[in-house]
Structures are given as C-alpha cells and as structure tokens.
Structure 1
C-alpha cells in the first residue's frame, strides 16, 4: 500500500484481539514509530514488518509479547530502526524457521539461546551493532539451518568452530565481519 509517515509524527500500531489472524504484513510502508503485539495471537504464523522505520525493541518493553505467538514460523523485521539488545523471546519460539533481524541497530552480544533454536533454517543478524567474541558459543549458528548472515557486525575470534557441525549449511555470509583467527575445519 506504500503507506508512508515520512516527516510525520511517529505512529503506534497495536495488534490485539485478532485470535484467528495467521499472517500480518506491514512491510515496505516507511512507518515511523512502533508496532506492538501484546495480546495472545494463537494462530499467527507469519509477521513481516520489514522496510519501515520502527524503533525500540522486539521485547516486552517494546510492546512485543513473543510468548503470545506459539505457532510463529516467520519473523521478518529487516531494515528498521530497532535499537536494543537482541530479543531473547525470539529464541524461545518453538516453530520459528525464518528470522531476519538484519539492517537494524541491535546491540551487544548474541545470546547462546540463538544457537539453540530447534528448527531455524534462516537466520540473518547482518547490519546491526553486534559485537563480542564469536568463539564462545554456537549462538550465531542456526542448529538445523541452511543459511546464516552475519555481515557488517564486529566479532572477535573468527568463525565459531560450531559451524563445522552444520551439515545442512548452504550459505554463510561473513562479509565485513572483522575476522581474526583461524577458520574451523
């Protein structure tokens, strides 16, 4: 729909009371402000808020109750202005297969919980302000994943050795990763 709030006051969108909602896409609208998903949405499987100017975080403080999304399979929040630590609630979503948090301003280290997501096939954390030691855990490696994207972040210690155990990995992009150290065998 190309809704745009460019130059306008930020808006706040609250998604609530839609128990049968299965797919929510607000993508590519340039929405400035926040989107809150704060009530149980037991049927919601697909959320795409990419290509906006959403800010805050993807946690309870930011209005996102991820625990209320028990069947969520796709979360695409690429290319916004989210600026908080990576949300831990995402790692607890049992059916999440696709997670794109790239192109934001998430900060800090990647929790080990991100490496323990049971069915993630696509994980993109590129283009954030993430940093720290990548060798400490497999946090940056989807367990069953086939694609992982980390570029434009700054990690110490090279590529995590856990990547050598990912037999289904078909795409690994570490462009401008700030690599030091050895590659895993």
Structure 2
C-alpha cells in the first residue's frame, strides 16, 4: 500500500503533503506525485484500481515501475499535468474513455509514457487532441488494429513509439505530416502491409526511424 511517510510526526501525517513521493507548491496544493519504483501494490488479491482526480494543481504524475495490476483512471479535469508516466506496470484495458482515461481533461500534457504494460485496445484517439504533446510512448503493450490516420495530426510531437504491439494494416501516409518528429519507432511484433510511405521523406527533423521486424518490404523513402 502507498502510505504516509511514517518518519513524519503524527500531527503532520494528516496532510497529504507529508506523504512519500508527494510535493506541494507554495499554496499547499499538490503539484507532484512521484511514487516510481516504490513497490506500490494493492492489498488482497483483487486487481488495483487507482483513481486520479481532484488534483487541479498537479503538474507531474509518475507511477512507473510498480507492477500495478488493473487500471488507472483519469476521468476528471486535471488542467495542469505536463508529465504522466505509468510505464513498467501491468495496466490493462485501454487509454480511452472506456478504460477510464479522459485524455481531453489533460490539455497541458507534454509527456505520456505508457511503455511496457498490458494495454490491449485499439490505439487511443484522445492523444490527437493534446496540442502540447511532444513525447508519446505506447510501446511494449498489446494495442491492436491499425495506426489511426489521425495520428498524423499531432502538432507538437517529437518522439512517437508504437513498437512492440499487435498493430497491423498499413502505416498511414498521414504520419508524413509530423514535421516536428525526431524519433519514430514502429517495429517489433507489429505486422504491417505494404511498404514505408513515401510521405515520411517529408519528416525533415527525423533522426531515428525504427521499422525493424514488422513485415515491411521495399526501400526506405529518400
């Protein structure tokens, strides 16, 4: 269980600002929750269900590396978060409304790291509506279906990893619209039809393109 810092005096344990991994700002509102690699788990045999809500000053959330089983629900407006890291857990379901994630409630989000979980739905469309999103890692999961053509409409993305999933179909030519993109990872366990779209040659800022072991044929675009 995640609990207050027992080294704190009893009188201050009532304040969430004294909890391990929690940092509050000058106004006493929670701005950071970082419980990465703290062996956080639920008691009993039931899967974890972690709800994040009511933290209207929260800027950074990291639950990484805890092997949390079940779901993390972000379903209430959180206007301030810029970084959300839930990587290296055992979260399942999806990153959409059905899975408890209202990505539209995170308008300031810049970094979303969901690497190495058990997500198994189609890729979430909510990320497309995040105007500041620059880092998106959905790799190491079981996301299915095709890469949505709408993924070519993320205006600020610099790092996009969809590798090591169960994706199929064609790589959408619309990804060639991601002119801010520096790194693109699509390979491993995904199985794509056709070749690499020639439109990717328009990615003038791209320094890394990884399409290893995903069934593609033909030449890379010049």
Question: What residue is the counterpart of 1:149 in the other structure?
Answer: 185
Superposition map of 1:3-152 within 5 A: 3-4=40-41, 8-134=45-171, 136-139=172-175, 142-152=178-188
State the alpha-carbon separation in 2 of the partners of residues 54 and 90 from structure 1: 18
User: Structure 2: which 5+ runs fail to align?
Assistant: 1-37
8 A Cα contact 2:67 2:89, kept in partner: yes
- Bigger radius of gyration among the two: 2
CA 1:27–1:160 in structure 2 vs 1: closer, same or farther (change >3 Å)?
same
Match of 2:196 among 145, 159, 172: 159
State the alpha-carbon separation in 2 of the partners of residues 6 and 81 from structure 1: 21
CA 1:141–1:173 in structure 2 vs 1: closer, same or farther (change >3 Å)?
farther
8 A Cα contact 2:94 2:119, kept in partner: yes
The Cα of 1:139 is off from its aligned counterpart by: 3.4
The Cα of 1:116 is off from its aligned counterpart by: 1.4
8 A Cα contact 2:179 2:205, kept in partner: no
Q: Deviations over 1:142-165 (max 9, x none)?
A: 431100001111111111111100
* Over 3 Å off, 4+ runs: 4-8, 139-143
Please tell me the root mean square deviation across aligned C-alpha atoms, in Å: 1.7
State the alpha-carbon separation in 2 of the partners of residues 78 and 180 from structure 1: 27
- TM-score of the two chains, using structure 1 as the length reference: 0.94
State the alpha-carbon separation in 1 of the partners of residues 77 and 104 from structure 2: 8
The Cα of 1:133 is off from its aligned counterpart by: 1.4
| Structure having greater relative contact order (Cα 8 Å, sep ≥ 6) | 1
Aligned length: 184
State the alpha-carbon separation in 2 of the partners of residues 12 and 114 from structure 1: 29
The Cα of 1:177 is off from its aligned counterpart by: 1.9
